[in-house]
Structure 1
Amino acid sequence: MTSQNLPATVAHAFADLMNGHDPDAVDGFVAEDYVNHNAWTDDGREANRALWTGWFAAFPDTEVTLEDVLVDGDRVAGRFTYRATFQGPFMGLPPTGRPVVMHSIDIWRVVDGMAVEHWDQLDTDRFLAQLTGEDGGRGPGA
């Protein structure tokens, strides 16, 4: 197995996609028939590309930190912190210019160096509260 086939590479490739603001980077690590167990997007590489294209339109200054990577067999888990400014429409919400922080734990099943399946846990309520200003003005650091 080469280092490019190690499952952990998927977590690093995802962080690179986010920090490079490059939705087309999915071609290098997301399988065409990718199964995404996430309510925010459909299955498939193209749906994943569309998700990140929309994300970067709303949050063009996104910075992602890969906090941890764990590998067990064909599974890789990554813990991520996202920091950005809400600068474009997102999920029907108008941009506010507010800074936001989101955290996720993502798990991928990897076959031949490509992510074929994905699960995640997001701090969605806190993230949405930051977008709408319903966080009581505490902002992302609170």
Structure 2
Amino acid sequence: MTSSELVEAFWEQVWNAHDPEAVDRFVVEDFVITNGGRDIVGRDAFKAWVAAFLAELPDLRMHVEETFENADGSRVTSRWRITGTNYGYLHSAAIGEPIGFTGTAVWEVRDGSLVRNWVERSTPAVLTT
């Protein structure tokens, strides 16, 4: 499996399947994600973060627009779009309205596992959708 295929399998099996426990199949124990300028450190903390995110957007759907990797497969970048119904996303009121936003994720991949992730989301677009 290429690094790009690994990332796309992660998107499908974790986010689109709404299965935080599937994280175990993809990330190392000391995985780090930087999201909104904050680091979430460790596989268990990341799984809890995924579960909380899914609670805010219970019908979340990840639409991968594009994924590509560098020559040695150690970095993968994806552009994506998320759609769903807002039940408290970003600590907003749980209004039950549809929302959507785009983002970019850069992954560090080592030995067939996801090691690190940096995420940027289009938060202003969320607030005006």
What is the CA–CA distance in structure 1 between the aligned matches of 2:42 and 2:5, rounded to whole Å?
A: 19
The aligned residue for residue 77 of structure 2 is 77
Structure 2 contact 32–39 (Cα < 8 Å) conserved:
no
**Alignment of 1:24 onto 2:21:** yes
SS of the counterpart of 1:49?
A: helix
Provide the identity percentage: 29
Taking structure 1 as the reference length, the TM-score comes to 0.80
Q: Structure 2: which 5+ residue stretches go unaligned?
A: none
Taking structure 2 as the reference length, the TM-score comes to 0.87
Correspondence 1:129-140 to 2 at 5 A: 129=127, 135=128, 139=129
Q: Kindly report the root-mean-square deviation, in angstroms, between the aligned alpha carbons of the 2 structures.
A: 1.6
Q: 1:37–1:57: structure 2 CA closer, same or farther, 3 Å change rule?
A: closer
The aligned residue for residue 3 of structure 2 is 7
What is the CA–CA distance in structure 1 between the aligned matches of 2:33 and 2:97, rounded to whole Å?
A: 29
Q: Structure 1: which 4+ aligned runs deviate by more than 4 Å?
A: none
What is the CA–CA distance in structure 2 between the aligned matches of 1:53 and 1:117, rounded to whole Å?
A: 19
The aligned residue for residue 64 of structure 1 is 62
Count of residue pairs the alignment pairs up:
125
The aligned residue for residue 119 of structure 2 is 120
Q: Structure 1: which 5+ residue stretches go unaligned?
A: 130-134
